[in-house]
Amino acid sequence: MAENTRRGLFTLSGITGMLIATVLLLSILAFLVMNAIKTERAEAKHFYDPTPIVSSLDNVKMISKDNAKYDLSVRK
């Protein structure tokens, strides 16, 4: 058997590889966080308002065939 004598501290399987992987993962994390912040700021101005969909759910009964008009997944 051949003995592995080509070991190096600064090879891609050593410190250099670890630093490359760490920098890559941190840059991906920074990219995703910045996109999340940008999306959150943009969507904060357009918050969800359910009023156009159903103006009042006070008249919805627990068991009723009329509840179908409040369900958006039911196709008419």
DSSP 68: G
Percentage of the chain lying above the pLDDT 70 cut: 53
Task: Report the alpha-carbon distance of residue 17 to residue 10 in Å, rounded.
Answer: 8
Listed in sequence order, the residues at least 6 apart from 58 whose beta carbon sits closer than 8 Å to its beta carbon are none
Write down the residue that tokens 């179908």 correspond to.
68
pLDDT of 74: 47
In this predicted model, what pLDDT tens digit does every residue of 34-55 receive, in sequence order?
999 999 998 888 777 666 556 6
Q: What is the pTM of this model?
A: 0.52
Of 9 and 66, the structure prediction assigns the larger pLDDT to 66
pLDDT digits (tens, 9 = 90+) for 7-16: 666 677 778 8
